[in-house]
Structure 1
Amino acid sequence: MTTIIGNFVAYEGEHCETTAMGNLLQHMDIQLSEPMLFGLGQGLGFIYWDSKGMEFPFIGGRIKTDALSANLANRIGLTVNTLETSSVDKAWKNVRLCIEKGTPVALKLDSYYLDYFTNKVHFAGHYAVMYGFDDEFAYMADTRQQGGLVKTQLTSLAAARNAKGPMSSRNRSFTIEAIEKLPPLIPAIRKALSNNAHDYLNPPIRNIGNKGIVKMSKEILKWPSRSNNFEHDLCLTALLMERAGTGGALFRNLFRDFLRECADQLEETRIEQAHRMFSEIAPLWVNVSNLIDRAGRTGDQQELVQASALLLDIADKERSAMELLL
């Protein structure tokens, strides 16, 4: 038996969490651009994550998983119903009941287990929306890069939902309660801009936010001794920075485009200035990932020296831009 939400249309996005939120909102006939979803979610950040148990450091360009959706809901007055459980059977029942009521449901997943992912890397902070199922498959809406409307075996979905490890949750699913219209966006935009800037500039630890970029500029010089598989580790890091649902330039393209929309609506000089600065910053992140990729392919450590210097320049530029938005 097949159960499909008949009027479901995929939201086209680059980044998984904003695409998931876009799918849920679009199903309620609420249309916001992906940069606006990312910005209202106070999504821009940075993390240099390394620990003894990790094979190689993780570079992230956004705030922590789940926080973006929570921020977005808070900014525009959405009620998000979130369920978690350690029971695989109960987790499936939670989702099945939503679909049978005609409500698409967002799932948090380890993308490694999903049939339609060709690049098999464990990442338990991936989001997609489920809009149907049959006896064998779950029907999913994912990012444009992953194919938009896709399907995965129910057994694969169960494994992806129940995965353990960094960024995982206990079979997390969530839906949004229907609203007729959005509140005025300008107050929400102002609050999101100032909150995102404050959090970015005042991280709780030194490997997050602006301080994290400075830390990476030092740590990147140690990567040759940190890696057991230099080419694999560096080329994968560069790929994840640029193409793993970041929208390019480690989420800076999305934030730049959010600032463009903000400048158009608010017509304020400081936001216009910040937009121009992020228009210059975004290509610099592409340069960093290219340098890391070339270092991996060639073994030339001078590429990492250049990347280190470029990261310090980026940190200065981003700090100045975010100070304008406080």
Structure 2
Amino acid sequence: MIIEKVAFPGGQHCETTTLGALLRHEGLDLSEPMLFGLGEGLGFVYWDARNMDFPFLGGRTKPATITRTVAERLGLTLHVHETTSPRRAWQNVAAALTAGRPVGLQLDSYHLDYFTTKVHFGGHFVAMYGYDDTHAHLIDTAQQGGAVTTTLSSLALARAERGPMTARNLSYTVVGPAVRPGLGDAIRTAVRNNAHAFLDPPIANLGHRGIGKAARQVTRWLERAGDPTRDLRLAASLMEHGGTGGALFRAMYRDFLAECATIVDDDNLRLGHRMYAEIAPLWTEVAGHIAAAGTTGDPDQLTRASAILSDLADRERRAMQTLAGIPAA
């Protein structure tokens, strides 16, 4: 059972790659930055729970929220299924594929055969476009191989895993509108909403306040780490290479704003794009200093990272204040 011509070449982020593949099958071809931005995906979280080995810096909103928000912005019909029953979970997927629709899945990448780095991450997404007696056929990011396969047994384990950011065998399909939606109003709404959420986070770990907290905490990371070489280098790698598109999703959001400026004529939008064009390289600098601290054990590298993060908290606050000023059409 294989659905032909399901693809999203070059995808960098798992959820937008999955959504892009589903929408392409529906005849709606949007860039990955556009999907990320319309999904109001940009965020920041400094996460350091008691059961965590090391703090996590995240640059986007919670899993599945991008997909749900894009569906709302573009008038898509989104059918979502969750269940604790493995049998029902498979039936949900098989029924959609039999009906000719690829299926989005949220799962734990640890169990997928083609992942060479075995780390539990329950917020991973793939698009499934077929199966045979032993394997599932999936679309993942370019970094993971694009069109890949995993055994049906490993897929079942990945879907059923419990833990942080996991879902209960979550699957979904998308039905596109009969006519390609206009993007102007959707862009204005998405940019304003994302800006307001970033500027007014409910807790200090999120948004621009979270960046400021990271600036204060990062200088202690050599003492905080169980294995500084491993922990700091992994944190830096996740910022640049962990499906973020570089610079903790800021490069992707910069590209979204650049594309928006060709569709919406607004001075605030153009200024916001220029501001994020300056912001994105600074996140890459932060990642570089964190990686260097892990390699050398030099605390001065973390002092430099802290100074840039303090600057970024202010820069992103001002950029989002600018973008929040985009008027409705």
TM-score range for the pair, normalised by the shorter chain length: over 0.9
Residue among 269, 282, 307 paired with 1:309:
307
**Aligned residue number for residue 92 of structure 1:** 90
Q: Residues of 2 paired with 1:116 and 1:93: CA distance? A: 24
* CA shift for structure 1 position 89: 1.6
- After the TM superposition, which residues 106-125 of structure 1 pair with which residues of structure 2 at under 5 Å, given as runs? 106-125=104-123
Deviations 1:34-71 (A, max 9, x none): 11100100010000011111111111000111111111
Residue among 227, 230, 233 paired with 1:232:
230
Identity score, percent: 52
TM-score normalized with structure 1 length: 0.97
Matched to 1:99, the amino acid is L
Matched to 2:208, the amino acid is N
Q: Residues of 1 paired with 2:57 and 2:189: CA distance? A: 27
**Aligned residue number for residue 212 of structure 1:** 210
SS at match of 1:80: strand
* CA shift for structure 1 position 178: 3.7
* CA shift for structure 1 position 79: 1.3
Give structure 1 stretches of 5+ with no counterpart: none
* CA shift for structure 1 position 225: 2.2
**Contact 1:235/1:296 (8 A) holds in 2:** yes
**Aligned residue number for residue 159 of structure 2:** 161
Give structure 2 stretches of 5+ with no counterpart: 325-329
**Contact 1:247/1:254 (8 A) holds in 2:** yes
**Aligned residue number for residue 172 of structure 1:** 170
Q: Residues of 2 paired with 1:61 and 1:8: CA distance? A: 28
Q: Residues of 1 paired with 2:37 and 2:122: CA distance? A: 23
Q: Residues of 2 paired with 1:112 and 1:312: CA distance? A: 34
Matched to 1:7, the amino acid is K
Matched to 2:220, the amino acid is K
**Contact 1:106/1:173 (8 A) holds in 2:** yes
Select between 9-18 and 311-320 the one with higher mean Cα deviation.
Answer: 9-18
- After the TM superposition, which residues 1-150 of structure 1 pair with which residues of structure 2 at under 5 Å, given as runs? 3-150=1-148
Deviations 1:288-315 (A, max 9, x none): 0111111001111110010000001111
SS at match of 1:266: coil
Q: Residues of 2 paired with 1:73 and 1:109: CA distance? A: 20
Q: Residues of 2 paired with 1:294 and 1:39: CA distance? A: 31
* CA shift for structure 1 position 133: 0.4
SS at match of 2:104: strand
**Aligned residue number for residue 261 of structure 1:** 259
TM-score normalized with structure 2 length: 0.97
* CA shift for structure 1 position 184: 1.5
**Aligned residue number for residue 321 of structure 1:** 319
| Shift in CA distance, 122/112, structure 1 to aligned 2, threshold 3 Å | same
Q: Residues of 2 paired with 1:6 and 1:76: CA distance? A: 25
Q: Residues of 2 paired with 1:225 and 1:298: CA distance? A: 14
Matched to 1:313, the amino acid is D
Select between 6-15 and 229-238 the one with higher mean Cα deviation.
Answer: 6-15
- Pairwise CA RMSD of aligned residues? 1.0
